[in-house]
Amino acid sequence: MKKNLVSLFLLGMMVPFGAMAQLQLKTEVPANADNAPLPCHPVPHERQILWNETEFYAFFHYGMNTFTGREWGYGDEAESIYAPLGMPDPEQWVTSVKAAGMKGGIAVVKHHDGFCLWPTATTTHNITDAGSEYGRTANIPLLFAQASKKHNMKYGFYISPWDRNSAHYGKDTYVTEVFLRQCEELAAYGSDQFEMWFDGARGGDGYYGGEGYANGVGENRNIDASIYYDIPNLRWRVHQTAPNCVMWGVGGEARWIGNESGYAGETDWAMTDHDTEDNSIRGQGDINGWIWHPGESDAKATSGGWFWHQGEWIHSAERLFQMYLETVGRNATLILNIPPNQYGVLPEHSVNELAALGRLLHSRLAVPVYGLDETTEATDYAKTAVIDVDKTRAGGKYEKANLTDGDNSTYWGVDDFEHTATITLTWDTPQTIRYLVMQEPIKLGQRIKEFKIEYSEDGSTWTELCPNMQTTTVGYKRIIPLNGSTSSSYGNGYNAKKLRITIEDSRACPLLSNLNVY
């Protein structure tokens, strides 16, 4: 043992002194050299972040009900009733909603009646025996995916878990032989799908209905969706093909906002602790929720039902803009339904009003809209303001300049254990302002609990804005009409020489990735 120690000592003496010094000075890089803030759990999966970034997208309810005038078919409809009067044109759907400022769409390809708008191997209740050549020829999922890719739009499909036509429904064979296989068939139409939509309806009174169903009378089955549909296996199967496809509703990766009227709560957390039946929790989330479960608002742009009906009309661009403020502007996403007619196209009056909505979004909030140029785009006054903050996180990467760089991956923040902060914007001359937009870097969780907005016309006297609005949560995106109203949001604006945002409370050190003033 002593001999070995001596040998090691002599070997060390033979190493040049400079080399020994290099060995002695070598140090490990600190584990958190940039002083990055810790996540405030729960946090989203990457696919949920990409989904949130879609913000505003379309719903296209089209199928058997378009020709029966129903909203919920019974499943006993003959395949020949589905008979489009012209070649369905999903490309027209896609380009029309792109002109409205939308970033994608969801096509309904199987509703509760079980009729499939593609030649599925799982049932004969599909387009193969449609009543017109247009119906037999048009594979809607294929055409919709192709059109979306062509126009750089995100896309996905609605597939009803409840099937009023299938004799397998209510049995184990339905899930394994029908539903999961249909989902896999649809996933194969594009590995880049962003969402698959699963309605929560789960009755059993359709064509086959419950056991003993005959002559319109029978047992009405109630299905426990969380167990029956084998959700973990469903997610795994779809994500094998489409890894960034969020499973909405029954799939458990995004939640219903609790209404079909186009609004979320002014307070809206992206978390819940379970798939609740409580619409108040659906509408505003749960600050103590342990899973990331962000809200989506599904709303009808038209006066009728979800499917096309003769004589219906579309809401005005101003009303649709209000829906946008009350959903996208409140940390939710908006999926807005525009139903194609019996020719398989969106009616002209819908197309025109969608274009008008796009012009409003572009001119008021600088939303990028297909076909509109920068000369009509809203001015972001935050970019010309002098910005002061009372606190900045140490580390050199969290400076106030990140607030206006337009990059969601960078952010301003304050040190750990700080839960308040103040941001002040100053202009040389007063600017007429109407909207404040804030975004948190949600990859690190949702943090801000309460904030206050004030403005000064003369640079010294302060007035609080929207005192009757819940200025609580921010999340992925919060759009505040500074007059406190979403129904008459544009107004005359405020001549502001200064604008001050005071973060009054936060779950963890507050962080903001973007700040815009219009």
Q: What is the tens place of the pLDDT at every residue in 437-487?
A: 999 999 999 999 999 999 999 999 999 999 999 999 999 999 999 999 999
357 & 407 share domain = no
Is the per-residue pLDDT at 315 higher than 60?
Answer: yes
**What average pLDDT does this structure show over 307-333?**
98
Would you say residue 328 lies in a domain? yes
Calpha distance 304→216 (Å, rounded) = 27
Would you say residue 105 lies in a domain? yes
pLDDT of residue 223: 78
Output the domain CATH number for residue 469. Answer: 2.60.120.260
pLDDT of residue 202: 73
Would you say residue 169 lies in a domain? yes
Would you say residue 4 lies in a domain? no
Calpha distance 469→262 (Å, rounded) = 18
What secondary structure letter does DSSP report for 38? P
pLDDT of residue 313: 98
403 & 512 share domain = yes
**What average pLDDT does this structure show over 165-175?**
90
Is the per-residue pLDDT at 21 higher than 50?
Answer: no
Would you say residue 417 lies in a domain? yes
- Print the domain residue range for 107: 46-376
Band the pLDDT of 30: cuts 50, 70, 90. confident
> Cβ distance 79 to 132 under 8 Å?
no
Calpha distance 381→404 (Å, rounded) = 10
pLDDT of residue 211: 47
User: The pTM is what?
Assistant: 0.92
Is the per-residue pLDDT at 297 higher than 70?
Answer: yes
Is the per-residue pLDDT at 10 higher than 50?
Answer: no
314 & 407 share domain = no
Is the per-residue pLDDT at 91 higher than 90?
Answer: yes
478 & 358 share domain = no
**What average pLDDT does this structure show over 34-53?**
97
Q: How large a percentage of the chain has pLDDT more than 70?
A: 91
Q: Which of 268, 287, 388 is nearest to 330 (CA)?
A: 268
Would you say residue 34 lies in a domain? no
Is the per-residue pLDDT at 28 higher than 80?
Answer: no
Q: Is the dihedral of CA 412, 414, 420, 425 positive or negative?
A: negative
Which ranges of 65-193 does DSSP label H, i.e. alpha helix? 65-68, 90-98, 133-137, 140-150, 172-174, 180-187
Would you say residue 119 lies in a domain? yes
397 & 351 share domain = no
Helix (H/G/I), strand (E/B), else coil: 263? coil
Would you say residue 441 lies in a domain? yes
Is the per-residue pLDDT at 282 higher than 70?
Answer: yes
468 & 320 share domain = no
Q: Which of 177, 43, 157, 170 is nearest to 90 (CA)?
A: 157
pLDDT per residue as tens digits for the range 248-264: 988 899 999 999 999 99
Last residue of a domain, one of 376, 395, 424: 376
pLDDT of residue 336: 98
Domain count, the chain: 2
422 & 450 share domain = yes
pLDDT of residue 279: 84
Last residue of a domain, one of 355, 376, 397: 376
Tell me which of 216 and 77 has the higher pLDDT: 77
142 & 289 share domain = yes
Q: For residue 177, what are its two tokens?
A: 């032989």
Last residue of a domain, one of 333, 354, 376: 376
345 & 390 share domain = no
290 & 393 share domain = no
Output the domain CATH number for residue 268. Answer: 3.20.20.80
426 & 316 share domain = no
pLDDT of residue 210: 45
pLDDT per residue as tens digits for the range 372-381: 988 999 999 9
Average pLDDT, the chain: 91
**What average pLDDT does this structure show over 357-367?**
98
367 & 233 share domain = yes
Helix (H) or strand (E) holding 106: strand 104-110
Q: Which residues contact 229 (CB under 8 A, 6 or more apart)?
A: 161, 175, 179, 198, 250
